Each structure stands twice: as C-alpha cells, then as structure tokens.
Amino acid sequence: MSTGPRDPVAQDPFASDETVMQLPVFDAAARAALNARLTEVAAGVDAAMDRLLPPEGGGASPRLTEALRYAVFAGGKRLRPFLIAASGALFDVPAERVYRAGAAVEFLHTYSLVHDDLPAMDDDDLRRGRPTTHRRFDEATAILVGDALLTLAFQVLGEPETHPDGTVRADLVVALAEAGGAGGMVGGQMLDIEAETRGEAQDLGTIGRMQRLKTGALIEFCCRAGAILGGAGMEARTSLRDYARALGLAYQIADDLIDVTGDAAAAGKAVGKDAARGKATFVGLMGIDGARAEATRLMDMALAALQGFDGRADDLRRLAVHVVTRDR
C-alpha cells in the first residue's frame, strides 16, 4: 500500500506529543453538530450517487434502473460515507473525492443489504420502513440489483475522478475488496449462516469474530479510505484502524440492543427477529446491562485511539458516543 509522505508538522494531527484528547461533551449542541454534519455528508453522497447511477428511465433496463434507485435511495444516515469524510477531514481531503469514495462504499453496503434481505438469507420484508427490494420487485431483480451495485462500487473507485493518482485508486480498490470479500463482510455472513444452520452454542469470542468480519470490516475500510485518500502516515492509519475496530463492535452491540429494546417504527426494520430465531447475540449472552457496559467500554477504546488527533477528530469522537447511546 502506498502511504505517501507524512503531512507537514503544521497540518499533521499527530504532530505534537503534547496533544491532549478532549472528550466530547455530548449535549444538545454536540448532537446538533453531529446531525448537521451527517446531513451535509449524506446530501453530498446522495448527489454523487445520483450522478453515478443510470438516470430514471434510462440504462439497459428501465426496470433495473428503477430497482437500483429504489434500493440506494431508501434512506439511512450514510454512516459509512460519514466515516470516510470524518477520517479524510484529518488530512484535508477534498469533498468530491470523499463523496465518490462514500458513494462506492454505499453501493457495496446497499448490495449487501439487498442480498441479506432475500428469503435465502434473512427473509426480511421491511428495510428502513419500506418493503425490501425483492418484495417491491422480485427476487431475481433484487439479485441483479446487488450484482450491479457491487461492480459499480469498484468502477467508481477505479475512475480518475476519485483520485488522480492511480496507486491511490488501486489501494482503495484492494482495501474495499478485502473488506467486502471472503476475508471480510461476506466471510462474516457465511459464519453467521453456518452458526444458525448448525444451531450450536456460541461464545462471545465466536460472535465477536463473526461481527468483526460481517459489520466491522466495512467500517474499518471507511476509516482506512479517508487515510488513503489523504496520504496519511502509518501512525495515523494505525490509530484510525484501532478506532474503527472498537467502533464496529460497539455498533453491532448497539444494533443487538435495538433488536431487543426497540420498535419497528423507530428502527425502520423488523425487531425481535434474533430472539425469535434463537440466534446468539451479545445481548443474549451478556444481558442488556452487560451489553450496554461492553458497548461503553468499546466507546472508551475508540476515543482513546484518537488521543493523538486534534479537534479535527471531533466528528469521529461524537460519532462514537452517538453509536453507543442510540438505543437509550
């Protein structure tokens, strides 16, 4: 991987050993600032995806185009593109490059959701408050939507508009392939299916490994992508990796908590399915209080990983707090 030169001391968030981490005060003002930034990034990424997808009524198949746009523009906070933006902000990455990389990861993420909702996987009827793609259209169309979005993700990363340096583009392509493939998200999904099929008892270590692949690998890619686009040094990349790994597990635990304590209207998807299937989760093994305590511990780890960064990392800090407290 090409790391590029270290940023000049004046611009490097790792420049001073005297940097003191300022833990975010997640009051109403901090929450409003985070929401405003999430909205800003989501708008930029949505505009990029609108330009990159076939226009309405266009493409080789208007029906496929309609289904692609239905799946992609189903709502959501665009958390993963936000992580690219927040990480890239540490190294002054231009917004257009961030939005294109964010569109690529959102295409891949959406493909995974469309396929995950299929009867052969989770058999879900609801996604973000709307019928899932295979329910709105049909299963064959949903499969093709996923296939098209997956390939489009890599096309976008490989185009010079994403970054003029071909080595940087290649690094992004390889990193996303690692995160989304058999050694990452797809591998984690397979472990999940195998565990459910066998019906064997799972311990926390097994569940943690599965979720680090299924959910955490793509979150880690996003922080890695911001660093790649910014030519970050290895110290910064390592810290962002550690942040992302802690955040990814905390996110999954919070998601498990929402499945137990939330409602479908607020969550935008069916809840209570894990318990109905007898599926092993962090909450099932640790209890609600134990899972919340573990999520808080992981939040502290994520925040500690950002100690060397200056105030430009505040979006990452606020996000870590938000992820852990969103079920409460």
| Backbone angle region of 59, left / alpha / beta, with phi > 0 → left and psi within -120 to 50 → alpha | left
- Judged against a pLDDT cut of 70, whether residue 190 lies above it is answered with yes
Q: Are 223 and 85 in contact (CB under 8 A)?
A: no
Q: Find, among 134, 135, 127, 85, the residue nearest to 105 by Cα.
A: 85
What length does the chain have? 328
Residue 120 lies in a domain: yes
Res 189 pLDDT > 70: yes
Q: Is residue 1 part of a domain?
A: no
Identify the residue whose tokens are 């933006």: 85
C-alpha–C-alpha distance, residues 311 and 22, integer Å:
8
What's the whole-number average pLDDT of the chain? 89
Q: Is the pLDDT of residue 104 over 60?
A: yes
Q: Is pLDDT above 60 for 8?
A: no
| 9 is a domain residue | no
- Does 219 fall in a domain? yes
Between 183 and 198, name the one with better pLDDT.
183
Q: How many CB atoms lie within 10 A of CB 15?
A: 15
- Does residue 109 form part of some domain? yes
* pLDDT above 90 as % of the chain: 76
CA distance 92 to 101: 15
In a domain, 13, yes or no: no
Closest CA to 294 of 259, 239, 256: 256
**pLDDT at 5 exceeding the cut of 60:** no
What is the DSSP track for 272-326? SHHHHHT---HHHHHHHHHHHHHHHHHHHHHHHHTTT--GGGHHHHHHHHHHHHT
Which residues have CB under 8 Å from 125's CB, separation 6+? 131, 132, 135, 270
Q: Which domain holds residue 302?
A: 28-325
Domain count within the chain: 1
Express each pLDDT in 37-94 by its tens digit: 999 999 999 999 999 999 999 999 999 999 999 999 999 889 999 999 999 999 999 9
Indicate if the pLDDT at residue 275 is higher than 70.
no
Residue 6: the pLDDT is 32
- What pLDDT does residue 114 have? 98
pLDDT band at residue 22 under the 50/70/90 scheme: very low
How does residue 274 score in pLDDT terms, banded at 50, 70 and 90? low
Q: How far apart are CA 42 and CA 98, in angstroms?
A: 11
Rounded to two decimals, the pTM is 0.88
- Residue 14: per-residue pLDDT: 38
Give a yes or no: residue 163 inside a domain: yes
Residue 6 domain-assigned (yes or no): no
Task: Give residue 25's pLDDT.
Answer: 60
Mean pLDDT across 298-325: 95
Over the stretch 124-165, which tens digit does the pLDDT of each residue have?
999 988 999 999 999 999 999 999 999 999 999 999 999 999
Residues 154, 177 contacting (CB under 8 angstroms): yes
CA distances from 217 to 46, 211, 232, 323 (A): 23, 9, 20, 17
Averaged over 243-248, what is the pLDDT?
A: 97
Tell me the CA distances in angstroms from 259 to 57, 179, 274, 275, one per residue in order: 37, 25, 7, 9
Greater confidence (259 vs 245) lies with 245
Euclidean distance between CA atoms 222 and 235, whole angstroms: 17
pLDDT given at position 19: 38
pLDDT of res. 71: 98
Confidence of residue 120 (pLDDT cuts 50, 70, 90): very high
* Exposed / middle / buried, residue 120 (Cβ in 10 Å: 0-12, 13-18, 19+): exposed
pLDDT band (50, 70, 90) for residue 325: confident
- Calculate the dihedral angle through the C-alpha atoms of 104, 107, 112, 117, rounding to the nearest 10 degrees: 170
Give the C-alpha separation, 239 to 226, whole Å: 13
pLDDT for residue 2 is more than 60: no
- Residue labelled with tokens 């940097």: 19
Per-residue confidence (pLDDT) for residue 278, from 0 to 100: 62
**Could you give the percent of the chain with pLDDT greater than 70?**
87
pLDDT average, residue stretch 227-232: 98
- Report the CATH number that the domain containing residue 213 is assigned in CATH: 1.10.600.10
**Quick one: pLDDT band at residue 213, thresholds 50, 70, 90?**
very high
Q: Which of 304, 305, 302, 299 has its CA nearest to residue 324? A: 299
